[in-house]
Chains A and B, each alone.
Chain A
Amino acid sequence: MMSDGRTAGRAVGGAVLTACLWLTAVPADRLSAQVSFHVAVGARYSSTLVHDSLVTPFDLRPALAPALLLSVRDELRPGWSADATLDVSPSGLRRHEGGGSFDAGSFTALAFTVGLQRHFAAGVSARLGVGGMRYAASQTGVFREGSGGIFPLGSVAATYALPFPYARTNHLEVEARYDVHQFITPALRSEGFTASRPVHRAAILVRVGWGGGTP
């Protein structure tokens, strides 16, 4: 448990350090003009982590979970921006078996992505991102031998900037985000699973930002 906590802490620390280095490398005048900070909150659905069968088939799936995203965004040129995003999502785990749903532990999913965003007309933008994700959990159940390290992650998102004056001033946006990664843990390998499973996540978020120009 402690090692997982330390590793998760290092992952977050690394993300913050990266963001700080990036910020210090950017000239201050450019910072004030083009860099913005964003916080997004919302809800996330995740597909099945493990499909198994012991007597009868069943699924291990995260419950609907809150999502918190912290982003630093830089306007590259008109219509384009790049961002670095830390995505935190604490979730319960449920075993779905025989029509019932049972508690199977919990975890916190930590993802760090860098993305490229294209702004279209009427406040609509699309983002493509890549990064890594790790599960921070106590060493029980599927995480009893560790969390499996950092999984490569790809994400896409569509964002709509609300057209109201207050919303434009505060970079208020709504976002639909999808990402996918491959999941397997050492305990699952010990159990006999030989391949990872694609896990799809979808989130609906409300985003607010500070700094930068009006989007």
Chain B
Amino acid sequence: MHRLFKWLLPILLFSPSTFSQDWIRTGTGLGVEKVRLAVPDFKASTQDAKNTDLLKVFNDTLWNDLDNAGIFDMVSKSFYPLGPVGSPPDVKFEAWSAPPPNAAMLAFGNLGASGNTLTVQGWLYDAKNVTSPQVLGKQYQDAATTDAARAIAHKFADEIIFRLGGGIQGIAESKIYFVSSRSGRKEIWAMDYDGANQHALTHVGSISLSPRVSPDGSRIAFSSLTRTGWDILMYSVDVGRLVAFPRFGGTNLSPAWSPDGTKLAFSSSRGGDPEIYVVDQSGSNLKRLTSFKGPDVSPAWNRKTGAQMAWVSGRSGLPQIYTMEADGTNPQRLTEEGYAVSPAWSPNGQFLVFSWIRHYGPGAPGAQDIYIMDIASKQWVQLTHDGGRNDFPYWSPDGRHIIFQSSRSGSEQIWTMLADGTNQKQLSFAGSNTQPNWSWK
């Protein structure tokens, strides 16, 4: 009997992988079960002429935010019962909870401009619970502009996602920072998480790379080519310009904030060879963490604990990904082959996403794709397959999405996808856009 089981054990270990799909989905919180959510267009509550445009922006934004969240099965509008729904008395429960809509939850409300003020009322209802359906009831007021309508839609969507997503904040109000060359020089730009509202932040006029926003969203650290070489520069989002930060000498690259915002890790060659250093967020107390021969670059803190760091080292030849404690001890190698760069740690602390050329060598190197690795077990899953060079992946704050840069469209652009590799969408189109960084909330 025992012998039989020992023989069976290796067999069981080889069993193929619907399992892995479970693992990646459960680990990233996707695809397990999706709540069927119906979101009819909000109704106009006033007679103002501005309502048409405001409603269009609001409804489109709300729908996209909820659809993008990765946790809802959006009920197609073609199944909705007729008749607008603007407030609780309009809700006919049976019509919504029965087929064809078969909705579990219903989000509805009304919107109206009155003079220069916009008022929005929104509800989230449990469509199966006639006696006490209300989960959320909210009212918002702002200026009667499309930007405000968009912002309110983001807020309302995030409320719904927070309640139905089990306490994880939605990303509809989050921002993405990236490098764009469309003005002629590589500068740091910003945009909404869905690609709207792309605008330049810096005007250094040189080559600026590797933007990283601080956890509280107030500052962006980046690396720029100054007259003395590559330096870490600091842009203040609050005052809209560069603020002072020390120069360290040598080539200083790839800044990374600790999750509590008190420290900045980066790569510096001030001592000759590029190594990983840590400094206080004010720029003082510089400490060196690594002392490997070969380039050490691209540090990434453990976002959950701040107690560890991943980084890229060329100490063994081609760059590989390593982890170490936040004080530099206990380096561990994670990748064994190929060319692995650009690690980013997931918000739940469990995964690294990175860019990997698994088959690398003279002649034509293989494809460069985005991979996720479970740090504890070193199991990895490949997320992109569609060609082009895919690099600089970064997690959304809810851990359900990943942004990255890809050259598959012919030029380098920012793309987004769910953390299981599905739903890949292009966010930028003009010029060359690289190195995206997602805000922390």
Partners in one complex: no
Chain B residues within 8 Å of A, Cβ to Cβ: none
Chain A residues within 8 Å of B, Cβ to Cβ: none
